[in-house]
Structure 1
Amino acid sequence: MGALVFISHSSQDHGVAVSVCEALERRGVGCWLASRDISPGDNFQEAIVTAISSVRAMVLVFTGSANNSDEIKKEIALASHSHLAVIPVRVEDVLPTGAFLYELSTRQWIDAFDDWDVAMSRLADQIGGMARGSAAAPAVPASPTDPAAARNLSGKWVTSPLINPYDRNTTSTLHFELEQSGDALFGTVREKTDVSAVVRGIQGGQIKGDTVVFYTQGVTTSGNGMQPYKEHYHGTLKGGAIEFIRQNDVATGGLPEKFTATRE
């Protein structure tokens, strides 16, 4: 099977990285793993760069060893440059520090140290949703005058630049890759600024009539350390667009934003 994900790990965590790879491939998600997929005589650095540029996501096997790995920092930087989704999987109950705290504070992670099988299934589902959302983009945009077509939301959507409600000197653009299955909605939301991009999986997606609701998850820093939060999206279908209201449940934030997404 073709590789959908690049598995990033510390050399000290090779065994658990192999276990993640095997768990994903049993669930139909092809992986790229350096120890297996770099042939003798290949240039290691060139192989890493090529692999990262050709996959849909990066799975970071996060441990205490990974937290001190300079090579992983380089791989995450390459992933950010390629606007690649990075999904941290914590296989030990440790929190990121230093540079990793900065890199991972806005990313949704998966904990695998409590229930391995549940975590691997969730990881495979999230990656599969990204792949389906990419493959589902329509060749011809739906006609705004066709109500049935307008409710087929599968494909790519984008907003105009949005002013950050917390810092009006910065803007971001939201890119949605959506996959509709009946009344359920799957996919990803990529928020791109001038300096970075963050990709989060859509969860709880539902379509009822002209209403679209879902949420994404992230992690922020506070005086109490790392705190998870949800970003709630409520959309209304109008013509060929989706008019959204977005609001998070961070205790110190939660300012609502209104914007419109149209098909790319």
Structure 2
Amino acid sequence: MKIDLTGRTAIVTGSTKGIGRAIAKGLAEAGATVVVTGRRQAEVDAVVAAIGRGARGHAADLGTAAGCAALVAAEPAVDILVNNAGIFPMGDVLELDDAHWEMMFQVNVMSAVRLTRAWLPGMLSRGWGRAIFLSSESGLNIPVDMVPYGVTKTALLAVSRGFAKRAAGTGVTVNAVLPGPTISDGFEAFFTKEIAEGRKPAELGVEFVKAHRPSSIIQRAATVEEVANLVVYTASPQASATTGAALRVDGGVVDSIA
């Protein structure tokens, strides 16, 4: 199978690091013109330069309506939207205040809603498009130390299914992708001390999965490239019969046959 996205414009939100950056790179390697986004222009510019292939980028705070509007104004036509922007702070659910919940919802859910609402009509009018929401296995297995995060990832499953139904019969697909534990920048930030002592991220990933996600079938953390591969396929013409789906790349963490 050869995935060819030549002539398609793809926006990946939150793509200066981790899974988002790997997705942006994968889409560019498949021929898409990639638009990188992040909060800091210097980081955006560095990733654009690293990706090459005509990539461009914009700095915007997508946790606000104004930030989303600015990005849409800068990029009025999009063929592939990957809603990857998200934050995952930890905390005791009994101690998290309304402001924390509101922040999580605005960044993780409303950014995706606003951008999909803005760009989906153009996809519908052209008869082709892909909207992909990065959910998480945590949307099915709510982590006790990240309840608001889990709630937002559950919300994205409903949101993506709803948009998919709205695009029924048009040639536009809308799907959610659910990563499990993944060795990303965020993952490594949790193990700064251990990595500084010479421990390998892959080794730490195995230990984390066995301790905290024992239902994993692969018994290790995924790489960002493994997650990106599924996203690139979902964005491809070959995935034209896949829509309204929750596609897991969780290593089998979710103990379900469905």
TM-score (norm 2): 0.29
Q: Which has the higher strand share?
A: 1
Q: TM-score, normalised by structure 1?
A: 0.28
Greater RCO, 1 or 2 (C-alpha within 8 Å, sep 6+): 2
The structure whose Rg is larger is 1
* Larger proportion of helix: 2
